[in-house]
A and B are shown apart, each in its own frame.
Chain A
Amino acid sequence: MEHVELFFKSIFVDNMVFATFLGMCSYLAVSKKVSTAVGLGAAVIFVLAVTVPLNWLLDQYILREGALSWLGPEYADYDLGFLSFILFIATIATMVQLVEIVVEKFSPSLYNSLGIFLPLIAVNCAILGGSLFMQSRDIATLGLAFNYGLSSGIGWFLAILAIAAIREKIRYSNVPAPLRGLGITFIITGLMAIGFMSFGGMLTGGDDAPKKEETKTAVEQKEINNTMETTEEVAEVSTITE
């Protein structure tokens, strides 16, 4: 149950692009064509699913306060939390490099479709953001960390796929000249984010479901209660993502 909840929460409620704006740079730059968007999205899912569990292990056994106690009681007081940025980014950069080499060796066809995106990914904020959110949200087990990485990746994939499809279509519309390209993409993403916000009601609906959303602001609560009104938008977004 925990797994299912985290899975859907990371895809829809805490969607990387629409709720936390992670990976926006490549999201905007590589979303001109659906085919390239699919390639980058697949690479992001893959790299997130690998690096988040790895960084979870690093965090659990090296970085957090008292994590070094497995070395012996005299190490129990160390808190290496300040090193997490540099270790996380090093893990990500090496993993990306490693994945690139392995994929090139064993599956040249996959490398051709995915390869050019891999170096881009080392500096994609969605990847580092996934690890940092994993740390700040206290994901409890290795399995959950893998689940979190995988589902965040899928959420990002859905977002870039949707915007690429819309941008391919919008080429035929008469957008005001100054808004063409970047401007209209921003505004569409904003509207999609409003639509995705209504997924917030998914986890607060049941009676025995834990109240996860209590920390959110009153305004956001009101939004969540208004889910019924925005179902149209949801339907629209979900048909696009299909």
Chain B
Amino acid sequence: MARLAAEDPLVRDEAILDDDDDDVDTDEEESESEDDSGEEFHAEPSKKAVYNKEGILEKLEDIAWPENVDWRHKLTIEHDQGEKIDVNDDLARELAFYTQALDGTRQAFEKLQSMKVRFLRPADYYAEMVKTDAHMHKIKGRLLSEKKKIEEAEERKKAREAKKRAKEVQAQKEKERAKQKKEQIESVKKWRKQRQQGGFAKGNDDGPDLNFEGDEGFKQSKKKRPGVSPGDRSGGLAKKGKQGKNRKSRDSKFGHGGRKGLKKQNTAETTNDFRGFNQMDKSQNKRRKMDGPRVRFAFFYAP
């Protein structure tokens, strides 16, 4: 079978070429043997392919332009690619095409320059282009958006790094602050000791009474605050505001603050206390209620 001769140096792209014309009819029986062996396909030139070199050269002669035709009719340049290019390596392939184009253009431009012909487009020559302005605008938009995307990504990266560094800086600062504090306390302690050793009695020293001994200095004092209810968080300020006479009397009667439950219940005293009731008001209210709207708004209904 032709396929087994795998000595062909040209190992081809399997997607493009992996079988031959004459394999078509033999493929059926081949597939049986193929099943177990996962062999790669190697391209084989089919043996019966036609190649009539004389005929081709004859045709070429027929259609070819005269030998001595001016180069300016053709504008063709040959370029040697050098070593073989790997087709599947996109970058290498495109680079090869680019260098071919660049090299060819350089040669052609040199030729044109030496011919002293006008071949470069002047800056003020406007004419129809292959791609429309709208399309070029689209391309520009895409380029810009791509650029923006890259910039944004970079910025994000920078911000992330800055954040990381800021954390470190913050930690450093805190450490320093704690150290400073410690030092200050230490220095004050030292100062006091020196004073004590210097012969000043504790009672009549004129220095500030700095109570930095241990942790007590920083704790809240647990002293009872006079005249302030224990739940009061305003620090007794609420009581100190000016209060009217009325307010005071009401407070004395109904109480102020604290639990409501006991205060609202009647006691023997309060049941007999009629200070808050006005007899006149009461009778008026009663009549108004009993009259109903017709009496109350009689003037509306008057003829």
Partners in one complex: no
Residues of A within 8 A of B (CB): none
B interface residues (Cβ-Cβ under 8 A, vs A): none
